[in-house]
């Protein structure tokens, strides 16, 4: 759908009381809430699953690695298909698919079926990112884009907290079976999928250009090879990979780290793990606002990344529990969830509008490739060294690598209009 059409929709909705782009922000926010809730219900109960299926730490990490493998695999195809046929026609079926297979995960009677269900759930989730941000970029006015994206991204934080608290309270605190949180998340997830379907105003696209398209303004197909020749986008891809590696290492292993190396138990695990996503909400909103205000992303990237790296170091190497909690909060304020809106804004200024879905899917594919590696590598290092500290240290080093990559990106103060 063109921007002009979406502006017309926005004006119509203004008369009714709510602008269209705010509706898009709201439903995409809910989308991230249940994507992350269905991801993180697993992490606090990983020791329970390990006991049931007799798994090592490396095998536990492999559960998330397989999930993110199929998730990453779906990124580029879903983005390209979304640009070609219509974004919601790709996003919504995948969303409902992962909701259903979240429930089926709880029915697993063997480790093989458990892995299969998680793989299909990951495949379904993989259709969300590119179409989501393409719809958002088309719908949200440019002067509000980073802030709108930050609000959408805050759903990740709410969902992470919801997943952590649900499974840690029900299973670790109340002693119910680890399967129950998977069942609980299924129904609201499927309902949100239908809500997105009825909210997004987009017609199914035809696979060929319409005859009515003016010859003076042809719709050009965006080639992946052209995207990969854009230095700014490549630098941002590297930064995203490094940032997401640390985030998904922490997302996967922090609950077990708190149980095995810091002595926490029960709902305390979920509460302390939730400090990161809750702290990220004001961080994302603040830095999203500042990015829109100053019209530049790099200064904020250079501020956030070093602080996030230091806070990861502090989590494992500071023995004081209060200082560790402070370090987790600082990471939430400055880490991946706060950095994402800034990076997305930078990508949107350097990407052609007609290929938004493809570019954002490729951006997320590169970033999420690290999520395939982080759970397994951290589990392997834990089995090898007997401690999770090495895994945290590697995450810190990769943030430094991403910081160096962004030194090579160029940015003007004046915002570019994608063309």
Instruction: Provide DSSP, 290-306.
Output: HHHHHS-SHHHHHHHHH
CB 44 within 8 A of CB 351: no
Running DSSP on this structure, what letter comes out for residue 35? Answer: H
In terms of CATH architecture, what is 3-205+226-406?
Up-down Bundle (1.20)
Place of tokens 């299926």: 53
Strand, helix or coil for residue 118: helix
CB 87 within 8 A of CB 131: yes
* Separation CA 56–CA 213 (nearest Å): 58
Ordered by start, the domain boundaries in the chain are: 3-205+226-406
CB 166 within 8 A of CB 48: no
Cα-Cα-Cα-Cα torsion 98, 100, 101, 107, nearest 10 degrees, comes to: 160
Q: What is the pLDDT along the chain (419 residues), one digit of tens a residue?
A: 444 444 444 444 444 457 889 999 999 999 999 999 998 898 888 888 988 888 888 888 888 888 988 988 888 788 788 888 888 999 999 999 999 999 999 898 889 999 999 999 999 999 998 889 889 888 888 778 778 888 898 898 899 889 988 998 898 888 899 999 999 999 999 999 999 999 998 766 655 444 444 344 444 566 777 777 888 889 999 999 999 999 889 888 888 888 888 888 777 887 888 888 888 888 888 887 888 788 888 899 999 999 999 999 998 888 888 999 999 999 999 988 789 888 888 888 887 766 777 788 788 788 888 888 888 898 889 888 888 888 999 999 999 999 999 999 987 754 443 32
Backbone phi and psi for residue 90, each to the nearest 5 degrees, phi listed first: -100, -45
Closest CA to 306 of 207, 407, 185: 407
pTM of structure: 0.71
């Amino acid at each position: 759908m063109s921007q002009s059409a979406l502006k017309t929709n926005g004006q119509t909705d203004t008369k009714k009381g709510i602008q269209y782009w705010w509706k898009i922000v709201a439903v995409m926010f809910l989308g991230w809430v249940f994507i992350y809730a269905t991801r993180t219900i697993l992490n606090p109960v990983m020791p329970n699953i390990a006991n049931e299926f007799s798994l090592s730490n490396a095998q536990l990490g492999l559960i998330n690695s397989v999930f993110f493998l199929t998730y990453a695999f779906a990124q580029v195809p879903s983005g390209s298909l979304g640009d070609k046929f219509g974004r919601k026609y790709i996003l919504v079926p995948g969303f409902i698919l992962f909701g259903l297979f979240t429930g089926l995960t709880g029915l697993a009677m063997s480790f093989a079926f458990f892995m299969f269900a998680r793989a299909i759930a990951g495949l379904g989730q993989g259709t969300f990112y590119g179409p989501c941000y393409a719809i958002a970029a088309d719908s949200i006015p440019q002067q509000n884009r980073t802030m709108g994206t930050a609000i959408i991204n805050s759903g990740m934080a709410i969902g992470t907290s919801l997943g952590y608290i649900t499974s840690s309270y029900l299973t670790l605190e109340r002693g119910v079976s680890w399967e129950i949180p998977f069942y609980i998340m299924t129904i609201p997830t499927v309902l949100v999928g239908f809500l997105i379907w009825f909210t997004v105003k987009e017609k199914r696209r035809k696979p060929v250009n319409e005859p009515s398209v003016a010859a003076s303004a042809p719709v050009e197909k965006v080639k992946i090879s052209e995207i990969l020749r854009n230095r700014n986008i490549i630098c941002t891809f590297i930064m995203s990979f490094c940032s997401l590696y640390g985030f998904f290492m922490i997302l996967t292993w922090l609950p077990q780290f708190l149980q095995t190396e810091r002595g926490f138990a029960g709902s305390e695990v979920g509460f302390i793990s939730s400090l990161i996503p809750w702290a990220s909400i004001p961080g994302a909103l603040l830095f999203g606002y500042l990015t829109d205000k100053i019209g530049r992303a790099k200064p904020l990237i250079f501020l956030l990344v070093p602080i996030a790296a230091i806070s990861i170091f502090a989590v494992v190497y500071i023995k004081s529990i209060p200082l560790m909690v402070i370090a987790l909060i600082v990471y939430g304020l400055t880490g991946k969830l706060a950095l994402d809106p800034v990076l997305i804004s930078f990508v949107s200024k350097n990407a052609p509008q007609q290929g938004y879905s493809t570019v954002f899917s490729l951006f997320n594919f590169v970033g999420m490739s690290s999520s395939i590696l982080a759970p397994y590598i951290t589990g392997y290092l834990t089995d090898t060294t007997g401690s999770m500290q090495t895994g945290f240290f590697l995450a810190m080093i990769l943030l430094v690598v991403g910081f160096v990559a962004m030194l090579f990106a160029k940015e003007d103060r004046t915002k570019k209009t994608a063309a």
